[in-house]
Amino acid sequence: MESPAHPTATEQRGVTVAIDGPAGSGKSTIARRIAETTGGGFLDTGAMYRAVAWDCLDRGVDLEDLDAVAEAARGLDLDLGTDPDGATVAVRGTDITAAIRTPEISSRVSAVATNTAVRPVLQQRQREILRATADARGLCAAEGRDITTVVAPDADVRVLLTASDEARMARRAAELGLDDSEASKAQMRDQVLRRDRDDSAVSEFLTAAEGVTPIDTTALGIDEVLERVLALVDAAHARNAAEAAGQDEDDEGPEVITTAGPGADAPSDEEIAGAWRAGLEDYALEDEDLALLEDEDADLPVAPAARNLPVLAVVGRPNVGKSTLVNRILGRREAVVEDTPGVTRDRVFYEAEWAGRDFWLVDTGGWEDKVQGISYRVAEQAEVAIELADAVLFVVDANVGITTTDEQLLKVLRRSDRPVILTANKVDDERGELEAAALWNLGLGEPHPVSAIHGRGSGDLLDAVLEALPEEGRGAAPDSGPRRVALLGRPNVGKSSLLNRLAGGVRVVVDDEAGTTRDPVDEKIELGGQTWTFVDTAGIRRRVLQSQGADFYASLRTRSALDRAEVAVVLLEASEPISTQDLKIIDMVLESGRALVLAFNKWDLIDEDRRRQLEWEIEKDLAHVAWAPRVNISAKTGRHAEKLVPALRTALDSWDTRVPTARLNAFLGAIVAAHPHPLRGGKQSRILFATQARTRPPRIVIFASGFLEHGYRRFIERRLREDFGFAGSPIEIGVRIREKRFS
């Protein structure tokens, strides 16, 4: 096959080619052939991770020391060849091309690949090599399962190669020299198909992302596939040539100041931004645009001061209607209510208001004396809530009367020396009021008859509550001052265990039964010299189990807790495959706009094989949140729990980050000059100006003369992260299309 004629790198920027595909689809072969045919370069991205592993082992760096490995990656003296006929790899001048393919490196490289501090460093170097090689040789081709979506989402040519299972197994068997026996087929099925199917169970692995060209290679020969990809390469060269020649004269935009003339000082960020801002005067702006531009560098909002409110604890034996009464007082459904006794298992704080006064309302699990198992721990926590309270609302069932359990709880209340408001619940008529009057014998004063379901008597009860509560509380209730952290994850993933470990004691009910936490529980904890408010949330079950009962309402409360939080720690179980439900929880965080930290729990339980598998799962399924800090912990033993605080601070700092308008526009000017928006139909959308509209999370508003393709927006986001960090925070990019004014 003859090499197609391509413009040289000195005439225009080179073409970057990214090829994805499952094992046996032909991606490595095609990438090398593209480079050979065009005289371009070939980038082996996997060799870089192996090189870091070799370097660390050679210098005695512990691969489990994440910070040390990341530092080694940043300072790696690497010479990576891009010749498709025989790319070499050298570190510190030593040729390690063969050494990095040894079993020792193959078995240890996963520790490097799973280090989230290493990945951005190497991915950035891969992008630089890809771009530099393309410009120097006219083209550079790279292959890998995530090359089109993570490493090079802005590549000129992005291709997903697919093939049938049978075709891929046959190709791999031929490559390894295996025969046609059943044993060989079984080996290929395990090697080629099992991993792909495990991955595709939680992601659309075989579906081309937006802007990626799919090619089914099942019935195609190598030359046929090569011809199709080369056609895409030719089209990319044509686009680059058109961009180098200049855009359509009818689509002029403001002048982009990027470099100074000979002998002149380089323009400042303010001068560049000023030129862009002046160009906006030629475009029709709306009132909201002008308001945004006038407020472009406003101060960040300040969190309100904490209030020291009094605390009212609601206690009683199981199923007397405490949570229903709490919901009645709050005027909304907050506490989980169900016919099953003991559904409320942990003490839970809510902010309530009556007659202009605010106070904290604490709902507790049902109290029983001489109980075992989880019920014993619930009763113990009810006693703790009583000690924290400024007054206690003692709820009894008027229809049942005083039981032995009520009498035991009454002894606890008398020992606490707290004001007690006796409440006779389930009083729906006057006859019930007469029965409630018998409770005078308890010696707690007037019993207050109420119907929590219908609201009967609730106003009089709250008047009595305000008389018993002091104006200010003891300061034990959570406040709005500390940064708020939501702990999220599937049931039984270890959220409550982690909270208890951080708090230094049993704060949340922990049991082998999945889903023992049903309501969000707030806890102020001192960590790293700073106070944090942690919210342990109900585990989010699969949708099929959410249709009714306590778990359904607990899931809704989890969403509400996330809305009240600033940063979410999503716990995933390292010993189990990343599930669809894990991804949905992460998506919930992204939709909420909260900062994000990923914590892989039970890290002490996994072996090297599981680590390698987890590495692949993270690569494919969590690529969209590669920017999130990651910690590998054991909530049970406390292993690496201290690394959670730096990750939280990093995420929150990014969440609060504001990029000055001048610096933002200078940044955009530089990347637009180097990588302008692609031409479409002879027209080219131009970025006119940009400003950051808000923080928490950062939202960038771009004014443009036309639609910016999603791939180009992702490119801008990636470059924003490279230049400004934003680790742990989502970034929102909005585009406002504005047309020129008519003369």
Question: Does residue 231 sit within a domain?
Answer: yes
Strands 567-573 and 213-216: unpaired
Question: Does residue 529 sit within a domain?
Answer: yes
317 annotated binding-site participant: yes
Strand order in the sheet with 732-737: 687-694, 699-704, 732-737
490 annotated binding-site participant: yes
**88 pLDDT higher than 50:** yes
Residue at token pair 């969000």: 520
329 annotated binding-site participant: no
Predicted confidence band of residue 365 (pLDDT cuts 50, 70, 90): low
Tell me: the pLDDT tens digits for 115-138?
A: 888 988 998 899 899 999 998 888
Residue at token pair 């839970």: 348
Give the range among 286-300, 304-318, 320-334, 465-479 with minimum mean pLDDT. Answer: 286-300
Rounded distance between C-alpha atoms, residue 322 and residue 396, angstroms? 9
594 annotated binding-site participant: no
Residues 6+ apart with CB under 8 A from 655: 566, 567, 594, 595, 695, 696, 697, 698, 728, 729
Q: Do 257 and 384 belong together in one domain?
A: no
427 annotated binding-site participant: yes
457 annotated binding-site participant: no
Q: Do 388 and 370 belong together in one domain?
A: yes
**351 pLDDT higher than 90:** no
Predicted confidence band of residue 250 (pLDDT cuts 50, 70, 90): very low
Tell me: the pLDDT tens digits for 35-44?
A: 988 888 999 8
In the three-class reduction of DSSP (H, G, I as helix; E, B as strand; rest coil), residue 143 is classed as strand
pLDDT value at position 602?
92
**730 pLDDT higher than 90:** yes
> How distant is the alpha carbon of residue 704 from its chain centre?
29
Mean pLDDT of 264-274: 62
323 annotated binding-site participant: yes
Predicted confidence band of residue 551 (pLDDT cuts 50, 70, 90): very low
Question: Does residue 306 sit within a domain?
Answer: no
Among candidate residues 620, 637, 654, the one where a domain is terminated: 654
Residues 6+ apart with CB under 8 A from 240: 7, 12, 13, 14, 15, 156
489 annotated binding-site participant: yes
Q: Kindly report the CA angle at 258 between 255 and 261, in degrees rounded to 5?
A: 95
Q: Which two tokens stand for residue 683?
A: 């027209």
Question: Does residue 305 sit within a domain?
Answer: no
3 annotated binding-site participant: no
- Is the separation of the CB atoms in 320 and 397 below 8 Å? yes
In the three-class reduction of DSSP (H, G, I as helix; E, B as strand; rest coil), residue 239 is classed as helix
Predicted confidence band of residue 404 (pLDDT cuts 50, 70, 90): confident
More confident residue, 551 or 14: 14
- Label residue 737 exposed, middle or buried (CB < 10 Å: 0-12, 13-18, 19+): middle
Taking residue 355's Cβ as centre, other Cβ atoms within 10 Å add up to 9
Q: Which two tokens stand for residue 534?
A: 């942690």
Question: Does residue 493 sit within a domain?
Answer: yes
More confident residue, 140 or 386: 140
Predicted confidence band of residue 62 (pLDDT cuts 50, 70, 90): very high
Q: Do 234 and 283 belong together in one domain?
A: no
342 annotated binding-site participant: no
Q: Do 547 and 644 belong together in one domain?
A: yes
Predicted confidence band of residue 535 (pLDDT cuts 50, 70, 90): confident
604 annotated binding-site participant: yes
Strand partners, 423: 395, 448
**257 pLDDT higher than 50:** no
Q: How far is CA 289 from CA 128, 281, 395, 731, in A?
A: 36, 12, 56, 20
- Is the separation of the CB atoms in 427 and 457 below 8 Å? yes
Question: Does residue 175 sit within a domain?
Answer: yes
In the three-class reduction of DSSP (H, G, I as helix; E, B as strand; rest coil), residue 735 is classed as strand
pLDDT value at position 54?
96
DSSP letter (8 states) at residue 297 = T
654 annotated binding-site participant: no
pLDDT value at position 428?
82
492 annotated binding-site participant: yes
Q: Do 462 and 332 belong together in one domain?
A: yes
Q: Do 487 and 574 belong together in one domain?
A: yes
27 annotated binding-site participant: yes
475 annotated binding-site participant: no
Predicted confidence band of residue 542 (pLDDT cuts 50, 70, 90): very low
pLDDT value at position 85?
78
Residue at token pair 């530092």: 71
Q: Which two tokens stand for residue 396?
A: 């009894």
Element (H, E) at 403: none
CATH label of the domain that carries residue 702: 3.30.300.20
What are the backbone dihedrals phi and psi of residue 567, each rounded to the nearest 5 degrees, phi first?
Answer: -140, 140
More confident residue, 46 or 56: 56
Q: Do 366 and 260 belong together in one domain?
A: no
Length of the chain: 743
More confident residue, 265 or 117: 117
Rounded distance between C-alpha atoms, residue 692 and residue 300, angstroms? 11
Q: Which two tokens stand for residue 255?
A: 């002048």
Name the domain count of the chain.
4
pLDDT value at position 296?
52
Is the omega angle on the peptide bond into residue 697 within 30 degrees of 0, that is, cis? Answer: yes
Rounded distance between C-alpha atoms, residue 237 and residue 464, angstroms? 80
365 annotated binding-site participant: yes
- Is the separation of the CB atoms in 311 and 362 below 8 Å? yes
* Residue 623 structural domain: 483-654
Rounded distance between C-alpha atoms, residue 73 and residue 120, angstroms? 10
**727 pLDDT higher than 60:** yes
Element (H, E) at 142: strand 139-143
**543 pLDDT higher than 50:** no
Rounded distance between C-alpha atoms, residue 95 and residue 75, angstroms? 18
Rounded distance between C-alpha atoms, residue 721 and residue 619, angstroms? 18
Among candidate residues 630, 654, 678, the one where a domain is terminated: 654
pLDDT value at position 58?
93
Give the range among 91-100, 287-296, 503-512, 713-722 with minimum mean pLDDT. Answer: 503-512
620 annotated binding-site participant: no
Predicted confidence band of residue 375 (pLDDT cuts 50, 70, 90): very low
Residue at token pair 């082992």: 57
Q: Which two tokens stand for residue 67?
A: 């910070």
Mean pLDDT of 294-300: 50
669 annotated binding-site participant: no
Mean pLDDT of 155-178: 75
Mean pLDDT of 261-270: 54
Average pLDDT, rounded, for the chain: 76
pLDDT value at position 523?
77
Q: Do 358 and 432 belong together in one domain?
A: yes
Tell me: the pLDDT tens digits for 65-80?
A: 998 999 999 999 999 9
Q: Do 445 and 489 belong together in one domain?
A: no
pLDDT value at position 5?
39
138 annotated binding-site participant: no
**483 pLDDT higher than 70:** yes
319 annotated binding-site participant: yes
Range with top average pLDDT, 189-193, 204-208, 559-563:
559-563
665 annotated binding-site participant: no
Q: Do 185 and 266 belong together in one domain?
A: no
Strand partners, 694: 699
Rounded distance between C-alpha atoms, residue 317 and residue 667, angstroms? 63
Rounded distance between C-alpha atoms, residue 224 and residue 116, angstroms? 39
24 annotated binding-site participant: yes
Mean pLDDT of 426-437: 80
495 annotated binding-site participant: yes
More confident residue, 684 or 624: 624
Rounded distance between C-alpha atoms, residue 351 and residue 330, angstroms? 8
363 annotated binding-site participant: yes
pLDDT value at position 61?
93
Q: Do 545 and 448 belong together in one domain?
A: no
29 annotated binding-site participant: yes
603 annotated binding-site participant: yes
Q: Count H helices and E strands in the chain, helices first.
A: 23, 23
pLDDT value at position 642?
87
304 annotated binding-site participant: no
pLDDT value at position 24?
72
Predicted confidence band of residue 465 (pLDDT cuts 50, 70, 90): very high
Q: Got the DSSP string for 426-492? A: ---SHHHHHHHGGGGGGSSS--EE-BTTTTBTHHHHHHHHHHHS-SS--S-S--SSSEEEEEEESTT
494 annotated binding-site participant: yes
62 annotated binding-site participant: no
**592 pLDDT higher than 90:** no
Tell me: the pLDDT tens digits for 664-710?
A: 988 888 888 778 887 766 678 888 888 888 888 999 999 888 888 87
In the three-class reduction of DSSP (H, G, I as helix; E, B as strand; rest coil), residue 447 is classed as coil
- Is the separation of the CB atoms in 485 and 645 below 8 Å? no
493 annotated binding-site participant: yes
* Three-state DSSP string of 240-308: HHHHHHCCCHHHCCCCCCCCCCCCCCCCCHHHHHHHHHHHHHHECCCHHHHHHHHCCCCCCCCCCCCCC
More confident residue, 87 or 594: 594
Predicted confidence band of residue 140 (pLDDT cuts 50, 70, 90): very high
More confident residue, 169 or 532: 532
Among candidate residues 595, 621, 654, the one where a domain is terminated: 654
Predicted confidence band of residue 235 (pLDDT cuts 50, 70, 90): confident
459 annotated binding-site participant: no
**1 pLDDT higher than 70:** no
23 annotated binding-site participant: yes
Nearest CA to 269 out of 740, 735, 723 is that of 723
CATH label of the domain that carries residue 228: 3.40.50.300
Question: Does residue 325 sit within a domain?
Answer: yes
**207 pLDDT higher than 80:** no
What separation, in Å, do the N-terminal and C-terminal C-alpha atoms of the chain show? 55
Question: Does residue 79 sit within a domain?
Answer: yes
Q: Do 173 and 157 belong together in one domain?
A: yes
Q: Kindly report the CA angle at 12 between 225 and 83, in degrees rounded to 5?
A: 50
